[in-house]
Amino acid sequence: MLALGKLLELTLAGHEPAAKIQLTPDGTRLRWLDEGALEVTPPADRDSGLDLLLSAGIHGNETAPIELLDRLLRAIARNELHPAARLLFLFGNPEAIRRGERYVEQDLNRLFSGCHAQTSGFEAIRACDLEHLCATFFGKSSERIRLHYDLHTAIRGSRIEQFALYPWQEGRRHSRRELQRLQRAGIEAVLLQNRPSTTFSAYTYAELGAEAFTLELGKARAFGQNQMVNLDRLEQLLCELIEGREPVDEAEGSLDGLQLFSVSREIIKHSDEFRLHLPADIENFSELLPGYLLAEDIAGSRWVVEEQGARIIFPNPRVKNGLRAGLLVVPHDGAGLV
């Protein structure tokens, strides 16, 4: 196997490879770009026209997606998987991955779309570097298809185990075809966002023109302890995309069985007085009844549930002041998809 196929090993060891470019027997080129960053280029006569960015480890303790990307890259380096797409593999936060922690100083997934310029430290530098890597990768040609899957696992359990967040951009509509892809990959629900965000997938979607998604794929566990996280369907989809052999959808436009949600409100923590009135072990997508006092903060501010069918995701009262401490989401009927 080519040494560059061991990108995860190199990243965990903090080593820079001696050879930055290697070729597989079928002519696929692997090029090391930076710590945790590897570009894969297929032979010109096999190029499908897809630029596919696969990222994991934006939070260092979310290991199941990291292991998935490692399997894919090793298969390419062993000449078992034959890319037809241009690929960029990214292990987002190398130091946090090495430590087995969510982040080193601050949440990397809140520092994109220029937010890194408003702060300092390890994650701020890394967010800037990742933006440059992605802009270069997607900037090769405006004629190519751009797709980004940012793979995560969640801090807490979820009543819907595998779900996706689909970013928002003014004047742009969400794609039914992309939702079908996610459904085929085992994604059970998609949150259609309706406002700007500073996450990694929001950056590639709004600023680089990619179809981009944050995928939540189960609960975060340590390396080697992900037997309960079933990524078989996602892995199959990624292999199909990589090799350019994705099947044609038989039922064009059908999203039967895929649950859609939209954001009703963000719960923002304004001060140290913030109190979130939820059990510490509450699961994502738990339903909240109208009238429920969800949170309180400084100056008598209160969040009371008003929406029918409201559910909570990503509740976290320990975020820094000014950041989102949870999302209230409601069912979406799929109107406005293209």
Does residue 338 fall inside a structural domain? Answer: no
Q: Indicate whether 213 and 306 sit together in one domain.
A: no
Residue 303 parent element (H or E): strand 302-304
Residues 166 and 198 in one domain: yes
Its pTM surpasses 0.85: yes
Q: Are residues 232 and 92 in the same domain?
A: yes
173 and 313 co-located in one domain: no
Q: What is the pLDDT of residues 183-238, one digit of tens each?
A: 999 999 999 999 999 999 999 999 999 999 999 998 888 888 788 789 999 999 99
- Residue 253 falls inside a structural domain: no
Half-sphere exposure for 189 (CA within 13 Å, toward CB): 23
Same domain? For 225 and 320 the reply is no
Q: Which domain, by its residues, includes 281?
A: 267-331
How many whole angstroms separate alpha carbon 229 and alpha carbon 107?
Answer: 23
Q: Do residues 54 and 151 touch, judged by C-beta distance below 8 A?
A: yes
Per-position pLDDT tens, the chain of length 338 = 999 999 999 999 999 999 999 999 999 999 999 999 999 999 999 999 999 999 999 999 999 999 999 999 999 999 999 999 999 999 999 999 999 999 999 999 999 998 999 999 999 999 999 999 999 999 977 789 999 999 999 888 899 999 999 999 999 999 999 999 999 999 999 999 999 999 999 999 999 999 999 999 988 888 887 887 899 999 999 999 999 999 876 545 679 899 999 999 999 999 999 999 999 999 999 999 999 999 999 989 999 999 999 999 999 999 889 888 999 999 999 999 99
Asked if residue 239 and residue 100 are part of one domain, the reply reads yes
In a domain, 160, yes or no: yes
17 plus 144 within the same structural domain = yes
Degrees (nearest 5) of the Cα angle 122, 124, 129? 95
d(CA 18, CA 249): 44
Order of all β-strands in the sheet with 293-296 = 275-276, 293-296, 302-304
Token pair 């890194």: residue: 116
Same domain, 273 and 176: no
Q: Are residues 165 and 294 located together in one domain of the fold?
A: no
Using alpha carbons, select from 130, 95, 94, 133 the residue that is nearest to residue 111.
130
Residue 219 within any structural domain of the chain: yes
CA distances from 126 to 36, 39, 100, 120, 132 (A): 11, 17, 17, 10, 10
Q: Which of 243, 278, 304 is the last residue of a domain?
A: 243
The CATH number for 325's domain is 2.40.50.630
Integer Cα distance of 120 and 337 in angstroms: 39
Distance CA 101, CA 130 (A): 19
Looking at residue 111, which CATH number applies to its domain? 3.40.630.10
- Whether residues 35 and 123 share a domain: the answer is yes
Q: Is residue 248 part of a domain?
A: no
Active site residues: 216
State how far the Cα of 233 lies from the Cα of 71, in Å rounded to an integer: 14
Q: What is the pLDDT of residue 157?
A: 87
Per the structure, the count of domains in the chain is 2
Amino acid letter, residue 141: S
Same domain, 42 and 155: yes
Same domain membership, residue 219 and residue 140 = yes
SS3 content of the chain, % helix, strand, coil (to 5): 25, 25, 45
